[in-house]
Amino acid sequence: MKSNQHKHKQISPAARIQVERVQTGIRIEKCLLKVLKGLAEYQDMTLGDLLEGIVLHAFDGKLPFGKESRKRIDQLKDLYGLRLTAADSHRLFESHESLAPKGR
């Protein structure tokens, strides 16, 4: 049984929080997106729900994943060839972009 699955569905209706969601078009590294989609599928949630959870945990300085989810992430990273790490996060560029530093 998938231990992390359905955690978001165990909340009582009275404890749920209504929000307004908007459609967005973001650009994201291809293998990273595949891993995120695979993890969302494994957790039986939408990609949006997964991303909201990751970001809210990060904003609170908390880790978003337990041991079992980390194992699944590692498997998905291997499957989809994701080799990027947090250390790479501010060094990414697309092939059509200039290598010159961006002005601020």
The reply to whether 15 falls in a domain is: no
| pTM, rounded to two decimals | 0.80
Give the number of C-alpha atoms closer than 13 A to the C-alpha of residue 64, restricted to the C-beta side.
18
In one-letter notation, the amino acid at residue 57 is H
The reply to whether 50 falls in a domain is: yes
The reply to whether 73 falls in a domain is: yes
Which tokens hold the place of 56? 């809210």
pLDDT tens by residue, 21-62: 999 999 999 999 999 999 999 999 999 999 999 999 999 999
**Environment class of 99 (CB within 10 Å of its CB; exposed 0-12, middle 13-18, buried 19+):** exposed
The reply to whether 36 falls in a domain is: yes
Give the three-state DSSP class for 56: helix
pLDDT tens by residue, 90-99: 999 998 877 6
The reply to whether 77 falls in a domain is: yes
Question: For the chain, what is the domain count?
Answer: 1
Give the three-state DSSP class for 58: helix
